[in-house]
Amino acid sequence: MDLAGKNVVYLGGFGGIGQKCVQELLRRPIKALAIFDLNANEELLAEWKSQHPDTDIFYHKLDITQKSDIDAAYKATAERFGHFDVVVNGSGLMNDRLVELTIQINLLGVINSTLTALEYMDMAKGGKGGLIVNISSVAGLQPTAIMAIYSAAKTGVTTFTRAMANPFFYAHCGVGFITMCPGFTDTGVVEDMGNKTTFTYDTPMLAMFNRVKRQKAEDCARNLVSAIETSKNGAVLMLEMGETTEVDMPVMWKPQLDN
């Protein structure tokens, strides 16, 4: 998608990867940018507005676990922008000690945000179509034992997004879907992992985790925004160590139909 003149919504825009993605988006001639996040970063917001006076940038407080917050944020954005072309669901939490919150933020939040955005974007309902980008993880591509609950939630994001990208849905509503799966990235999310794992006891997986190379957040962001510009509906992309790889998802089952 050519981002010139587009209206973009970014959930989690003040997070580690989110900040870098917003900065990368603002390097394109986008028309407007809405940032949904739990806590405002007024200093950073003012800096972005000063550096990009031709882009309408605004922040809306959002607790992704609250459906009413999601509804209010999208309603305010639609009233201000008229429509939006791109939505990036980038809110996330990595802490398996907080079971319900991990599922609420990483999976239910993405689902509720996606379905709410579609109410405004669906061409069959008078919208203009567009693109929804859901950020999963490499932990959403295969089981990640050290973070079993986080991995389950992100696997749900991957599967949900792939299902939403069904060609019939795309032809009906005009909204494409892309799944982004970043590898380990140097942000605050991966700090203090010893207190965030599924189990409290020490494991060899934790020792291995501490040795895993981490990509820079700005490298991940650069590849993520580039993928928004170039990727097709249904793509599942792994963003790892500064490289982007399209993942070939195998078909494990096909229904047997009656004659």
Buried residues in 122-140 as b, exposed as e (16+ CB within 10 A): beeeebeebbbbbbbbbbb
Question: Pairing between strand 236-240 and 243-246?
Answer: antiparallel
How close are the terminal C-alpha atoms of the chain, in Å?
A: 41
Which amino acid would we find at residue 221?
A
- Order of strands, sheet of 7-11, starting from the edge strand that comes earlier in the sequence: 56-61, 32-37, 7-11, 86-89, 130-135, 175-182, 236-240, 243-246
- Cα distance between residue 118 and residue 116, in whole Å: 5
Question: Pairing between strand 32-37 and 7-11?
Answer: parallel
Token pair belonging to 220: 């991940």
Half-sphere exposure for 188 (CA within 13 Å, toward CB)? 7
Catalytic residue among 10, 150, 170, 201: 150
Token pair 């949904």 is found at 36
Do you know the residue count of the chain? 259
201 is catalytic: no
- Cα distance between residue 79 and residue 239, in whole Å: 34
- Cα distance between residue 48 and residue 4, in whole Å: 18
Q: What residues act catalytically?
A: 150
